[in-house]
Amino acid sequence: MRELILDDDRIFPTEPAARAIARRIFTEIRDLPLISMHGHVEAAVLANDQPFTDPARLFVVPDHYVTRMLVSQGASLESLGVARRDGAPVETDPRAIWRMFCAGWRYFRGTPSRLWLTQQLYEIFGVTVEPSLETADQLYEQIDAKLHEPAFRPRALYQRFGLEILATTDSPLSDLAAHQVIADSEWDGLVVPTFRPDALVHINRAGWKDAVARLEAVSGVETGDYNGFLAALRQRRAFFIEHGARATDHGHATADTTPLEPADAERIYRSALNGSVSAVDAAAFAGNMLFEMAQMSADDGLVMQIHPGVVQGHDPQVAATFGPDVGFDIPLPVDFVRGLRPLLQAFGRDPHFRCVVFTIDETTYSRELAPLAGVYPAMRLGVPWWFLDAPQAMLRFREAVTETAGFYNTAGFVDDTRAFTSIPARHDVARRVDATYLAQQVAGGVLGLDEAIETAIDLTVTIPREAYPPLKG
């Protein structure tokens, strides 16, 4: 049985003087509020405020960071309890899933998941022995017992984590009923929706026509032509703003934002409704819709989050069987300079527009993204996320972009998580990385300690608050 260790100097520099500075900086930011402006926790979790069912469904089943690592070592998604689209049987015994996770604990060594999981187990649930097949049942009982205590229900944990705001990610077709339940309750937690129109703008995806029909139904706007389609999207954006939304979110294969002539957009839209759209036209329409979404953001104030460069469902059999978000999305290289040029030419200096651009192609940081954010006032850099949300990758980000774009053309940390209890751990890692980078600046004589502390505070709370301001519904 091995002790579970959570070193309070984790991630900090190994050189003693720089480590001491990093500790000093981190002291000023470690307990600041958490501003979670991009994530995938469901609003219903906090609306219903029901106890989490069991350790497996809290730590393993919904978290593709965890499942993809276990799958890479030979586990099946069925054995990890991930539901199949066809309803075929999968493992439902949470203890069996938990044992498989604990038996695979060593696979997470060196990954950010190991950092997040360790902190969750140690700080939230008081676990002091390392997961393993031998300790799995003991840990299951310990965690499961706590999950039945009032202090471990979602709203209580929200308060314990020090969350100031939590943004969810929502379909334009959603009635946002869970958000309304929260707003109507006496609980004072702030949970806001984020407008994610991907299912409607990628017109060659399965189910698109049904989604458009539902858009017409929920918006009350006819979608038989392109202008009606745009009007229906505007109606839904207004509905989201009424429910507190501050941002939109866009996942595309490329960064293309080339607008189409209205007649071409109408032609492609009608072709899609008729079921005969080509891949080339579908890609052109997706780029056009990023431009249209930018125009709408300039009009209504929703911050536009863009994160291109992913092959979704790299294994088509897995995608067909389990759907998206099960760990089989793989990064692509992205051309941001040419792709974003139409959008930035039109809106990059518009004081009413703000876009935050993310990437998982870190070769673009210093060559493309930092120079773009360093000159267009409407653009901010999103910090590393997804495949780059590891300490060394986040440190490389600061090193690559700061000299060109500075600190204040970034947008603050986003945790991008489906695992609710990982939120504080992810923010903790990001704060330690920033403290490390700033400590190196102080040790090298580039910044004074007072400037470094001020910058750390700004990166942690001031910048994200300014990047995602509240809107009036």
How confident is residue 44, by pLDDT bands cut at 50, 70 and 90?
Answer: very high
Q: Are residues 309 and 394 in the same domain?
A: yes
Could you tell me which of 466, 460, 468, 408 has the C-alpha nearest to residue 434? 460
Distances (CA, A) of 115 to 278, 300, 390, 415: 44, 39, 9, 14
CB 125 within 8 A of CB 146: yes
As a dihedral over the C-alpha atoms of residue 205, residue 206, residue 208, residue 214, rounded to 10 degrees, the angle is: -150
Q: Which residues of 394-405 are buried (b: 16+ CB within 10 A; e: fewer)?
A: bbbbbebbbebb
How confident is residue 1, by pLDDT bands cut at 50, 70 and 90?
Answer: confident
The reply to whether 157 falls in a domain is no
Sign, CA dihedral 257-260-262-266, equals: negative
Q: Are residues 443 and 335 in the same domain?
A: yes
pTM of the model: 0.96
Which 8-state DSSP code applies to residue 11? T
pLDDT at 324 over 90: no
Q: Are residues 397 and 310 in the same domain?
A: yes
Q: What is d(CA 360, CA 386) in angstroms, rounded to the nearest whole number?
A: 7
The tally of CA atoms less than 13 A away on the side-chain side of residue 10 is 18
Distances (CA, A) of 411 to 252, 311, 407, 463, 469: 20, 25, 9, 6, 12
The reply to whether 78 falls in a domain is yes
pLDDT at 198 over 70: yes
- Predicted pLDDT at 305: 98
Q: Are residues 36 and 131 in the same domain?
A: no
Report the number of secondary-structure helices (H) and strands (E) in the chain: 23, 9
Q: What is d(CA 373, CA 381) in angstroms, rounded to the nearest whole number?
A: 6
Express each pLDDT in 335-363 by its tens digit: 999 999 999 999 999 999 999 999 999 99
Q: Are residues 300 and 171 in the same domain?
A: yes
Q: Are residues 91 and 237 in the same domain?
A: no
The reply to whether 415 falls in a domain is yes
The CA-based angle 12-15-18, given to 5 degrees, is 65
- Predicted pLDDT at 431: 98
Average pLDDT over residues 60-67: 95
How confident is residue 76, by pLDDT bands cut at 50, 70 and 90?
Answer: very high
Which 8-state DSSP code applies to residue 35? E
CB 98 within 8 A of CB 55: yes
Q: Are residues 379 and 258 in the same domain?
A: yes
Q: What is d(CA 75, CA 99) in angstroms, rounded to the nearest whole number?
A: 12
- Predicted pLDDT at 463: 98
Q: What total of structural domains would you count in the chain?
A: 2
pLDDT at 473 over 80: no
CB 340 within 8 A of CB 357: yes
Mean model confidence pLDDT for the chain: 97
Q: Are residues 328 and 403 in the same domain?
A: yes
Average pLDDT over residues 439-458: 98
Could you tell me which of 413, 419, 420, 428 has the C-alpha nearest to residue 459? 413
The reply to whether 417 falls in a domain is yes
Range of the domain at 60: 51-152
The reply to whether 450 falls in a domain is yes
How confident is residue 240, by pLDDT bands cut at 50, 70 and 90?
Answer: very high
Q: Are residues 28 and 137 in the same domain?
A: no
pLDDT at 204 over 90: yes
How confident is residue 144, by pLDDT bands cut at 50, 70 and 90?
Answer: very high
The reply to whether 323 falls in a domain is yes
The CA-based angle 178-242-288, given to 5 degrees, is 100
- Predicted pLDDT at 409: 98
Express each pLDDT in 99-141 by its tens digit: 999 999 999 999 999 999 999 999 999 999 999 999 999 999 9
Sign, CA dihedral 369-372-375-376, equals: negative
pLDDT at 84 over 70: yes
Tokens for 36, please give them.
Answer: 């979670």
What proportions of the chain, in percent to the nearest 5, are helix, strand and coil? 55, 5, 40
Q: What is d(CA 318, CA 329) in angstroms, rounded to the nearest whole number?
A: 11
Q: Are residues 221 and 109 in the same domain?
A: no
How confident is residue 472, by pLDDT bands cut at 50, 70 and 90?
Answer: confident
The reply to whether 236 falls in a domain is yes
The reply to whether 2 falls in a domain is no
CATH code of the domain covering residue 308: 3.20.20.140
Could you tell me which of 215, 185, 187 has the C-alpha nearest to residue 201? 215
